[in-house]
């Protein structure tokens, strides 16, 4: 076993073990069942997270939210995240979540989207520590499964309070906490300040999961080493590269991280899109394909060209043609580049 693996031992959250201690972050619109299954089947991920669910939506049995809650046994361990601003509604929603049968329930105290902040939920709650205590306490009382809380540094640089919020969550019975070390005001700008993850690790007894700017496998190894965190959660790095967990796991075992070939990427996107097209009605399928083309293309050469090629496409099937044409062009470009390199090496 390599030193890295010893440093990153399995993550224990209540009665749930995440091995490797790597988590797919909740991402609204992205970590749906198809994407979670893709990541789970590639391997290397300890826990996968569902897109966040509105506590009020769940309690009011709003169809928009309840249709997101399906998951497959194969996805386990799985976390379901809820957001809201009223402690009683959050507790009622947590009970509904538990009946759905996930392994972990997570509370969102980190979303900086204006729509969520206006409802005084997500990261807005960081500005009201007594309310955080009330929410965590009431939710905890209603759950038997492990409870985690996902936070940011605070509302803004003048109101950084992750240590206070972390202690409150621990006191009120959270089993682990995830920190994305940016303030709500920063949204996704600047760099995630990992030193604050290390601070929280020192301040708490419950496991701290680090999150933010892990885009490459070695970033995760560095986050474990620099912060002493018990787990690493990845969001954008996983949408660009769903192989990232398997790659991090390899690096933790002291092995090289294998890069997926373009043919593997092509197969993954194609199969994902065909699943969406077969199952969903056209308008929703178009929305999903556009969302995923946007995220997948970020890991590809000439991503702008690919995104341009889908503008004005009429129906879902056209997406498959556009993807096939893109990868055929990429294969030609790769073999041309290889031939040029060989010519140059002969000439040298």
Kindly list the catalytic residues: 111
Label residues 279-312 b or e (16+ Cβ within 10 Å = b): ebeeeebbebbebbbbbbbebbeebeebbebbee
Helix (H) or strand (E) holding 160: none
Q: Given candidates 213, 269, 289, 323, which one binds ligand FMN under the rule CB under 6 A? A: 213
111 is a site residue for ligand FMN (CB under 6 A): yes
Q: With respect to ligand FMN, which residue has the nearer C-beta, 35 or 319? A: 35
Place of tokens 């960081």: 126
Show contacts with ligand FMN in window 273-332 (CB under 6 A): none
Residues forming beta bridges with residue 151, ordered by sequence position = 109, 179
- Tell me, by CB under 6 A, how many residues bind ligand FMN: 22
21 is a site residue for ligand FMN (CB under 6 A): no
140 is a site residue for ligand FMN (CB under 6 A): no
Tokens of 256: 């090289």
* 8 Å CB contact between 303 and 329: no
Residues forming beta bridges with residue 80, ordered by sequence position = 105
Q: With respect to ligand FMN, which residue has the nearer C-beta, 32 or 51? A: 51
Place of tokens 């073999």: 335
27 is a site residue for ligand FMN (CB under 6 A): yes
User: Which pairing describes strands 16-18 and 11-13: parallel, antiparallel, or unpaired?
Assistant: antiparallel
Least Å from the CB of residue 192 to ligand FMN: 6
237 is a site residue for ligand FMN (CB under 6 A): yes
Least Å from the CB of residue 98 to ligand FMN: 19
The distance of Cα 53 from the centroid of its chain, to the nearest Å, equals: 14
242 is a site residue for ligand FMN (CB under 6 A): no
Least Å from the CB of residue 308 to ligand FMN: 21
Q: Give me the 215-234 binding string for ligand FMN, x by CB under 6 A, dash otherwise.
A: -------------------x
Pure H helices in the chain: 3-7, 33-42, 55-59, 63-66, 87-100, 114-118, 129-142, 162-171, 195-203, 217-227, 236-240, 244-252, 262-279, 282-297, 303-309, 316-347
Tokens of 48: 């996968």
Of 91-99, 103-111, 161-169, 253-261: span binding ligand FMN (CB under 6 A): 103-111
Of 197-205, 206-214, 272-280, 340-348: span binding ligand FMN (CB under 6 A): 206-214
Q: With respect to ligand FMN, which residue has the nearer C-beta, 70 or 325? A: 70
Which residue, 6, 33, 41, is CA-closest to 20? 6
180 is a site residue for ligand FMN (CB under 6 A): yes
Least Å from the CB of residue 211 to ligand FMN: 5
79 is a site residue for ligand FMN (CB under 6 A): no
* 8 Å CB contact between 222 and 191: no
212 is a site residue for ligand FMN (CB under 6 A): yes
Q: Given candidates 8, 13, 16, 25, which one binds ligand FMN under the rule CB under 6 A? A: 25
Give φ, ψ of 187 to 5 degrees: 50, -110
Residue nearest to ligand FMN (CB): 235
24 is a site residue for ligand FMN (CB under 6 A): no
Label residues 170-193 b or e (16+ Cβ within 10 Å = b): bebbbbbbbbbbbbbbbeeeeebb
Tokens of 209: 């999961």
211 is a site residue for ligand FMN (CB under 6 A): yes
52 is a site residue for ligand FMN (CB under 6 A): yes
Q: Given candidates 150, 193, 251, 265, which one binds ligand FMN under the rule CB under 6 A? A: 150
Least Å from the CB of residue 333 to ligand FMN: 29
Q: Given candidates 14, 46, 102, 110, which one binds ligand FMN under the rule CB under 6 A? A: 110
Interface residue list for ligand FMN (CB under 6 A): 25-30, 51-52, 81, 108, 110-111, 150, 180, 211-214, 234-237
């Amino acid at each position: 076993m390599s030193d890295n693996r010893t440093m990153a031992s399995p993550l224990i959250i209540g009665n749930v073990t995440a091995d490797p201690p790597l988590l797919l972050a909740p991402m609204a619109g992205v970590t749906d069942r198809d994407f979670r299954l893709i990541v789970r089947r590639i391997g290397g991920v300890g826990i996968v997270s569902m897109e966040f669910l509105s506590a009020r939506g769940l309690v009011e049995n709003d169809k928009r939210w309840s249709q997101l809650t399906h998951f497959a046994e194969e996805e386990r361990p799985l976390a379901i995240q809820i957001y809201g601003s009223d402690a009683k509604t959050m507790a009622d929603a947590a009970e509904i979540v538990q009946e759905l049968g996930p392994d972990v329930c997570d509370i969102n105290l980190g979303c900086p989207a204006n729509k969520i902040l206006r409802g005084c939920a997500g990261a807005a709650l960081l500005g009201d520590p007594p309310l955080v205590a009330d929410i965590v306490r009431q939710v905890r009382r209603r759950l038997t499964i492990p409870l985690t809380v996902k936070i940011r540094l605070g509302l803004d640089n003048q109101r950084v309070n992750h240590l206070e919020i972390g202690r409150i969550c621990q006191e009120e019975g959270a089993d682990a906490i995830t920190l994305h070390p940016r303030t709500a005001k920063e949204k996704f700008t600047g760099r995630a300040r990992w030193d604050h993850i290390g601070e929280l690790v020192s301040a708490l007894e419950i496991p701290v999961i680090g999150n933010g700017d892990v885009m490459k496998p070695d970033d995760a190894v560095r986050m474990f080493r620099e912060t002493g965190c018990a787990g690493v959660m990845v969001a954008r790095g996983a949408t660009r590269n769903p192989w990232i967990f398997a790659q991090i796991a390899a690096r933790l075992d002291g092995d090289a991280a294998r890069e997926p070939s373009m043919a593997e990427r092509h197969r993954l996107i194609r199969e994902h899109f065909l699943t969406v097209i077969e199952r969903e009605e056209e308008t929703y399928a178009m929305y999903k394909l556009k969302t995923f083309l946007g995220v997948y293309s970020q890991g590809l050469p000439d991503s702008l060209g690919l995104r341009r090629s889908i503008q004005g496409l009429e129906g879902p099937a056209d997406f498959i043609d556009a993807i096939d044409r893109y990868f055929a062009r990429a294969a030609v470009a790769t073999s041309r580049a290889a031939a040029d390199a060989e010519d140059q090496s002969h000439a040298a």
